[in-house]
Amino acid sequence: MWMAINYACWGISVLLALWMLYDWFKIDTTYSEDVLTSSREGELEAVSEKHRI
Amino acid sequence: MTAAVETGLTTTIHGDRVSLLRVLGPAHVWALGVGIVLVGEFTGWNFAADKGGALAALIVCWIVGLLYTSVAMIDSEVTSTVAAAGGQYAQAKHIVGPLMAFNVALFLVFAYTMLEVSDAILLGDTIVAKAGVEGLTHNSFIAATIVVLAWLNYRGVLMTLNVNFVITAIAYVSIVILFFSVSPWTQGAVLKLNELVTPGNALPYGWIGVIAAFQFGIWYYLGIEGTTQAAEEVRSPARSLPYGTMAGMITLLIAAAMTWYVCASLMPWEYLGITYYPLWDAGKLTGSPLLENLLFIATLLAALASANGCINDAARAWFSLGRDRYLPSWFSAVHPKYRTPYRSILFLLPIALAFAFIADLNQAITFSILSGVLQYTFMSINIMMFRKKWPLGSIRRGYTHPFHPLPAIVLFCLCMVTFFAIFLGFGSQLIAMTVFYFLISLWFHFYRYKFVRRGDQFSMPWPKPQGY
């Protein structure tokens, strides 16, 4: 049983790592760098977020 | 803002900017702080007994508790005023200056990443010890711990800290259950403190042993200051951060006292000082399979909670460095859907994995403790400057700590004692890390700082400091 858990851990690690890499690629190619790095220190959500869709 | 609309994705960007999400409350702050620290009760603190005996482990429990109470009070005051991701980094930037801030951010990233590495190694070793199967190594469990938790952090801070709250609470309750299961009010039935800690063996190396024990006494509380990293994601920083941090500190003081009492009453100091699993061993020594399995699971959960909080905090510190261009601004990207610093999380993931596979537990722990104590030393100086530049009444504070400057002086003195203790045990590592921080400071001062937009980095709407 422990060896099966051992292999399952490797499998889960690889799958989730691949998913994060895929999502990273998707986000970086979808949004501009200006949008992704637009966060500014000290801004309150109530001020910065206007919930425009 | 328009990017999402143009590409037709369901993801929406709120407002003109993508920022971290303010969704956390005091319970999440508690879960972040206590979650990072609680693993220290399950392993780490007990090595203090090896340095100075069982009584030394208790003495440092209280004295180091004083150090961390000072840390929590000072942190609560400054962070309730400088509510920004990066925690102590943002404090240092506004109060001391950019070079100090850069160093503090590196202390934070090193302390949390090395603690995450230690947690993952501990979790892997605990499972391998329980399994007792020949050929089974800890590598797969280490990889799964780091990758799964990085994924959780990648997907959002609310779920990350909800999970941390639940697993931290279970681990904490297991200590309470163990404590009340061994009839702590009667000696002799299960507990044998009178026989195990005697005047003859209480301090086997005298008072120098107590000084040496400081190095591992840090483990009772190491990481509680991590609550400040959530400053930009809590709904009400001025209320939630002091409340969550102080509640966390009280929780840990109780857990530390219960842990020492049970373990010192069940194991001789010679064994207590070398085992990697003091609470799990205590569960075994009660003779109850239920308690043994509960403490085994709690050890795993505590390690998971700690690694989870560390990934959260290290990523915020790295992200803040990128946002101020102390590092390439590429690191300051926020995920438009999950609202997390996803590039920082992903960047630190392989670094943690690499250290977990090549470093041993002792080295990782020592690097984490060293970076932590450097940070605490900074905090004692920081609060003195903060009160001098912006005295009470000059700016609004969410919390004002009492007895100033006593906590700062106590903190500074105890940090000096701890440095001496680390020097006794790991002098070469202490010197190596000091040289590293000196060289990296030269790089920042002479090369990197020219890329920083100097006016943009100071974001707090404070009046000019006194004397300027």
Domain boundaries, chain A: 1-52
**Among partner residues A10, A41, A43, which is closest to B140 by beta-carbon distance?**
A10
Give the CATH number for residue B108. Answer: 1.20.1740.10
Query: How many Cβ pairs closer than 8 A exist between chain A and B?
Result: 127
Residue B13 to residue A35, Cβ atoms within 8 A: yes
Q: What angle do CA B249, B250, B252 make, to 5 degrees?
A: 65
**Above 90 in pLDDT, residue A44?**
no
Inter-chain CB proximity B333 and A44 less than 8 Å: no
Number of domains in chain B: 1
> Which ipTM score applies to this complex?
0.86
pLDDT band at residue A42 using 50, 70 and 90 as cut-offs: low
Closest-CA residue to B429 (of B368, B376, B352): B368
Q: How big, in percent rounded to 5, are the helix, strand and coil portions of chain A?
A: 70, 0, 30
d(CA B369, CA B46): 15
Asked if residue B246 is part of any domain, the answer here is yes
- B225, B88 in Cβ contact below 8 A? yes
Residue B13 falls inside a structural domain: no
Q: Is B14 among the domain residues?
A: no
Single pTM value for the model: 0.91
Mutate to test the interface with A, among B147, B304, B453, B457 (most CBs of A within 10 A): B147
Q: Which residues pair with B191 in a beta bridge?
A: B187
* Contact state of B15 with A51 under an 8 Å Cβ cutoff: yes
Q: Is residue B379 part of a domain?
A: yes
Contact (CB<8Å) B19/A13 = no
The verdict on a CB contact (< 8 Å) between A37 and B19 is no
CA distance A11 to chain B (A): 9
pLDDT of residue B14: 53
- Structural domain contains residue B458: no
How far B18 CA sits from the closest chain A CA (Å)? 6
- Residues B217 and B41: beta-carbon distance below 8 Å: no
Give the CB-side neighbour count of residue B1, counting CA atoms within 13 A: 10
**Contact B141/A7, CB-based, under 8 Å?**
no
Please give the pLDDT value at position B366.
Answer: 82
- Residues on chain A bordering chain B, Cβ-to-Cβ distance under 8 angstroms: 2-3, 6-7, 9-10, 12-13, 16-17, 19-21, 23-24, 27, 30-33, 35-45, 48-53
Look at residue B186 in the predicted model and tell me its pLDDT: 86
Residue pLDDT tens, chain B, 468 long: 344 444 434 444 555 688 899 999 999 999 999 999 999 999 999 999 999 999 999 999 999 999 999 999 998 899 888 878 888 999 999 999 999 999 999 999 999 999 999 999 999 999 999 999 888 999 999 999 999 999 999 999 999 999 999 999 999 999 999 999 999 988 888 888 989 999 989 999 999 999 999 989 999 998 899 999 998 999 888 888 889 999 999 999 999 999 999 999 999 999 999 999 999 999 999 999 999 999 999 999 999 999 999 999 999 999 999 999 999 999 999 999 999 999 999 999 999 999 999 887 777 888 888 889 999 999 999 999 999 999 998 888 888 999 999 999 999 999 999 999 888 888 888 899 889 999 999 999 999 999 888 777 787 878 888 887
Burial class (CB in 10 A: 0-12, 13-18, 19+), B233: buried
Q: What pLDDT is stored for residue B468 in this prediction? A: 79
Question: Does B5 map to a domain?
Answer: no
Alpha carbon B330 to chain centroid, angstroms: 26
d(CA B378, CA B111): 14
Q: B18 to chain A: which residues are within 8 Å by CB?
A: 35-36, 38-39
Write down the pLDDT at residue B464: 87
Domain span at residue B286?
19-451
Q: Does the residue B156 lie in any domain?
A: yes
CB contact under 8 A, A41 and B332: no
| pLDDT of A12 above 80 | yes
Q: What is the pLDDT of residue B362?
A: 76
Please enumerate, as own/partner, the contacts of B172-177 that have beta carbons within 8 Å and a separation of 24 or more. Answer: B172/B34, B172/B38, B172/B251, B172/B255, B174/B279, B174/B294, B174/B295, B174/B297, B174/B298, B175/B41, B175/B255, B175/B258, B175/B259, B175/B279, B175/B298, B176/B258, B177/B291, B177/B294
| Contact in structure between B398 and B80 (CB atoms under 8 Å) | yes
User: What pLDDT score does B11 carry?
Assistant: 44
State both tokens at B400.
């004002």
The closest CB to that of B460, out of A39, A42, A49, belongs to: A42
The closest CB to that of A12, out of B136, B148, B334, belongs to B148
Contact at CB, A6 and B148, closer than 8 angstroms: no
Distance CA B104, CA B372 (A): 10
Structural domain includes residue B135? yes
* CB within 8 Å of B60: residues ≥ 6 apart: B48, B52, B210, B213, B214, B216, B217, B220
Answer for the pair B101, B326: CB distance below 8 angstroms, yes or no. yes
Q: Give the pair of three-digit tokens for residue B366.
A: 């020592």
Which DSSP category does B464 fall into? P
Q: Can you say whether residue B86 is alpha, beta or left, with left for phi > 0 and alpha for psi between -120 and 50 degrees?
A: left
pLDDT of residue A50: 40
**Residue A39 and residue B343: Cβ atoms within 8 Å?**
no
Residues of B with Cβ-Cβ distance to A3 under 8 angstroms: 133, 135-136
Looking at residue A46, what is its pLDDT?
A: 39
**C-alpha B295: how far from chain center:** 22
CA distance A49 to chain B (A): 5
Average pLDDT over residues A25-36: 95
Give the relative orientation of helices B157-181 and B289-323 as an angle to the nearest 10 degrees.
Answer: 150
Contacts of A17 in chain B (CB under 8 A): 147, 349
- Read off φ and ψ for residue A4, nearest 5 degrees: -65, -40
